[in-house]
């Protein structure tokens, strides 16, 4: 006979199990339908006609960054974002580790002018690096300019320098709150004091002194309206000469083209002070034109030398009338040619250094030698040639990494350069041409054990079969079991090469147990102009295919899985991330698009955005519109889609990629999100596109990014990152 007590217990057990099962189902259903309470974002009836295609733009009003309504929206979004980030237990320990690791002394390679050396140094946590000068490298350096003294929050940055040939005068540019606009001043080096010179409305320009130091050449735009200076389109750049101790209003206009609003100009005085080389660019197109002015002829006029706009021509130096250029004409990976301006016809041109299988990225003339910088599979190689192009030697570098610097003049016997890798902070080397030896000058001491990590470079196949290189960095002993949080980074545009380099945030990410991967996508310059063009305009989808293939490769090889995979990139890389999550929202666990170009139909209508049409194309062109519309992140969000956890970052003073891109994308993805993951926007104040950002802001932003990934990827931060109180 059955026990009645047991029957009652069995009934309650079955009922409780069924009830728990129902509760779990209800909770899962609730998670699937859960919506975040994002700030209300109104929509407007804005419809544009692109070649017969009607395109809605309901968040057009967010393009006015200064309107009270937009400011209220910014404040509401930031409240939501910072409230969320502030509650992540690991954020403070991550911030503390970033601060500790960032606190190391770092230098730039010195350059010599006259009897002085000049270099910058950051003691560690200084918001801006300080410019120093010294007569002997064994002497105690003297502060020449400390930007940290120019603002209380470190938001005034040194954005450019030009030193007179004798080392007596420093022309320098300052940028405020991350803006591309610069104001230039002149400082007496010996006295350490500024002269009366004050130049404004300068953007995308350096300065080049005449040898006697009585003035310099620079480029500027006309003064914009005060209310629209961060968004107004920049056209008609002009080249001027500024005479020392005179007001800017008296500067002499040297060259401009009122018939070519998109042309930009750079002026460079040759080392012999005989010629002014004028480079004319058109947006970000790698092709350019070259003119020159004979400075020894008082009645001289600008002469046109290279006007076909058929290739890139980078002036290297000259020997009298013989001009040396680095060009990709009939050599997409670069070569060096000589043009005698007395016989400038092409059949008189002479090739000095022929094209190599590696990409030639830069050349300088020091000690009567060409110092040529190559990229071999995205890593630096340095080779020397005599002035006839005969090979001399290859400079031995410490490993597979990136080297830069190599400044100097034709008769100098020395140069300085930096070397870095993913796990090696930038060290500075001194190279003596007489002995052909390099010796270490400065090596930073960082609280990071780079030897604990492995660096691999492998190749994977993209969608169309193209082999693409990718660097992968992880802790030694890493098991390929798909369990590791991974951060995949990319750029893929504008002929810019992604090369190995030390980054404090990446070092901390590695210490957190993460894998770091950087793919060398088409559109970049790692393999020369052909690689660049394979990711431009109508071929831009190749870049996104390369990035998506990199993600699939990392998963297939067992490094990670989709839920543990985060992607990131900034500017054009922000576009990359936006396109990736709209095309493959299922592939990623989290996304960090920074200062991205998200509205591909209107980017050319703000500040310098028109210049990017050389890489992207323009919605004004019917065929290019189709390609842009097909991948534009803003226009390819689909309501009802579950997007990965996304933290968009931008800044209110970004006058390169105006923040409206991120504002509109954030509003649209918040409205479209159907999954449980947060899509947030972090809007920095008193900051711009990234250049000159204070160290304090860099640390805060990195802490927010890694805390966001720590939570959304469900990482386990090592014990040394968090106290027992905060540990999960």
Task: Name the token pair of 19.
Answer: 């009830």
Instruction: For residue 182, give the nearest of 163, 202, 165 by alpha carbon.
Output: 202
d(CA 452, CA 450): 5
Task: Name the token pair of 239.
Answer: 């080249």
| 660 contacts 61 by C-beta, under 8 angstroms | no
d(CA 146, CA 567): 36
Could you give the C-alpha distances from 723 to 97, 512, 615, 625, 718, in angstroms and in order? 12, 14, 48, 53, 10
| 648 contacts 662 by C-beta, under 8 angstroms | yes
d(CA 93, CA 728): 13
Question: The sheet that has 303-306: what strands, in order across it?
Answer: 263-269, 275-282, 288-294, 303-306
571 as an active site residue: the answer is yes
d(CA 165, CA 213): 7
d(CA 62, CA 231): 13
d(CA 68, CA 64): 9
Reported in sequence order, the residue ranges of 446-537 that DSSP labels E, i.e. its strands, are: 453-461, 467-475, 486-489, 515-519
d(CA 598, CA 581): 12
| 336 contacts 361 by C-beta, under 8 angstroms | no
Task: Name the token pair of 641.
Answer: 């889609």
* 246-254 contacts at long range (C-beta below 8 A, 24 or more positions apart): 246/197, 248/198, 248/199, 248/200, 251/199, 254/217, 254/278, 254/293, 254/302
CA geometry: angle 581, 582, 585, nearest 5 deg:
50
Which residue out of 219, 571, 614, 662 is catalytically annotated?
571
Which residue out of 474, 532, 604, 689 is catalytically annotated?
689
* 3 state SS for 125-162: CCCCCEEEEECCCCCCCEEEECHHHCCCCCCEEEEEEE
| 51 contacts 625 by C-beta, under 8 angstroms | yes
Instruction: For residue 448, give the nearest of 710, 97, 706 by alpha carbon.
Output: 97
DSSP-derived letter for residue 214 is S
In the chain, the N- to C-terminal Cα span, in Å, equals: 51
> What does the buried/exposed string (b/e) look like for 349-360 if buried means 16 or more CB atoms within 10 Å of the residue's CB?
eeebbebbebbb
| 706 contacts 566 by C-beta, under 8 angstroms | no
d(CA 282, CA 261): 9
C-alpha torsion angle, residues 123, 682, 555, 675 (rounded to 10): 160
User: What three-state secondary structure class fits 554?
Assistant: helix
689 as an active site residue: the answer is yes
| 291 contacts 303 by C-beta, under 8 angstroms | yes
Give me the active site residues, please: 571, 689
């Amino acid at each position: 006979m059955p026990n009645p007590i047991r029957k009652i217990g069995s009934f309650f057990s079955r009922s409780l199990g069924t009830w728990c099962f129902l509760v779990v189902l209800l909770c899962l259903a609730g998670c699937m339908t859960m919506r975040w309470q994002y700030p209300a974002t109104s929509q407007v009836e804005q419809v544009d006609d692109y070649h017969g295609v009607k395109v809605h733009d309901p968040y057009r009003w967010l393009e006015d960054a200064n309107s009270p309504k937009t400011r209220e929206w910014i404040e509401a979004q930031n409240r939501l974002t910072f409230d969320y980030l502030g509650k992540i237990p690991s954020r403070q320990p991550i911030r503390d580790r970033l601060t500790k690791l960032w606190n190391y002394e770092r230098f730039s390679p010195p350059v010599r002018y006259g009897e002085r050396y000049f270099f910058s140094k950051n003691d560690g946590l200084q918001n801006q690096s300080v410019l120093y000068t010294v007569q002997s490298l064994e002497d105690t350096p003297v502060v020449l300019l400390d930007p940290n003294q120019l603002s209380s929050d470190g938001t005034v940055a040194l954005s450019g320098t030009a030193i007179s040939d004798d080392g007596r005068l420093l022309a320098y540019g300052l940028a405020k709150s991350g803006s591309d606009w610069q104001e230039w001043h002149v400082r007496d080096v010996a006295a350490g004091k500024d002269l009366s010179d004050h130049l404004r409305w300068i953007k995308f320009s350096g300065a080049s002194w005449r040898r006697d130091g009585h003035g310099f050449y620079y480029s500027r735009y006309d003064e914009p309206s005060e209310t629209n200076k961060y968004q107004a389109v920049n056209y008609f750049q002009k080249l001027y000469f500024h005479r020392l101790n005179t007001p800017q209003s008296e500067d002499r206009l040297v060259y401009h083209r009122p018939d070519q609003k998109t042309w930009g100009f750079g002026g460079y005085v040759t080392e012999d002070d005989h010629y002014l080389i004028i480079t004319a660019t058109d947006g970000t197109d790698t092709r350019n034109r070259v003119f020159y002015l004979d400075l020894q002829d008082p009645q001289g006029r600008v002469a046109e030398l290279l006007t076909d706009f058929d290739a890139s021509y980078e002036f290297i130096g000259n020997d009298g009338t013989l001009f040396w250029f680095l060009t990709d004409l009939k050599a997409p990976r670069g070569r060096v040619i000589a043009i005698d301006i007395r016989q400038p016809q092409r059949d008189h041109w002479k090739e000095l250094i022929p094209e190599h299988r590696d990409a030639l990225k830069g050349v300088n003339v020091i000690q009567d030698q060409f110092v040529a910088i190559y990229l071999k599979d995205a890593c630096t190689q340095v080779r020397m040639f005599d002035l006839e192009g005969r090979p001399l030697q290859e400079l031995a570098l410490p490993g597979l990494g990136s080297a830069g610097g190599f400044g100097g003049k034709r008769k100098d016997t020395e140069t300085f350069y930096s070397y870095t890798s993913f796990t090696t902070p930038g060290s500075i080397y001194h190279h003596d041409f007489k002995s052909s030896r390099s010796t270490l000058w400065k090596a930073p001491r960082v609280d990071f054990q780079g030897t604990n990590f492995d660096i691999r470079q492998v190749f994977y196949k993209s969608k169309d079969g193209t082999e693409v290189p990718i660097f992968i960095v992880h802790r030694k002993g890493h098991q390929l079991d798909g369990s590791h949080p991974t951060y995949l980074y990319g750029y893929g545009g504008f002929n810019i090469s992604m090369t190995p380099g030390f980054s404090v945030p990446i070092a901390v990410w590695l210490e957190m147990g993460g894998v770091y991967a950087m793919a060398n996508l088409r559109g970049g310059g790692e393999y020369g102009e052909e690689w660049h063009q394979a990711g431009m305009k109508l071929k831009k989808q190749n870049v996104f295919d390369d990035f998506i293939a990199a993600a699939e490769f990392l998963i297939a090889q067992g490094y990670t899985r989709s839920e543990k995979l985060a992607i990131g990139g900034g500017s054009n890389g922000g576009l990359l991330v936006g396109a990736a999550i709209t095309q493959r929202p299922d592939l990623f666990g989290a996304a960090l698009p920074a200062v991205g170009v998200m509205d591909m139909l209107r980017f050319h209508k703000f500040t310098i955005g028109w210049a990017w049409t050389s890489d992207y194309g323009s919605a004004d062109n019917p065929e290019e519109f189709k390609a842009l519309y097909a991948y534009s992140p803003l226009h390819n969000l689909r309501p009802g889609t579950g997007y990965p956890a996304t933290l968009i970052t931008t800044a209110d003073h970004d006058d390169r990629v105006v923040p409206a891109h991120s504002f509109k994308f954030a509003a649209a993805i918040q409205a479209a999100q159907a999954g449980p993951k947060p899509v947030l926007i972090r809007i920095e104040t008193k900051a711009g596109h990234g250049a000159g950002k204070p160290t304090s802001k860099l640390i805060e932003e990195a802490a927010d990014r890694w805390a966001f990934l720590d939570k959304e990827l469900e990482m386990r931060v090592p014990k040394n990152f968090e106290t027992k109180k905060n540990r999960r």
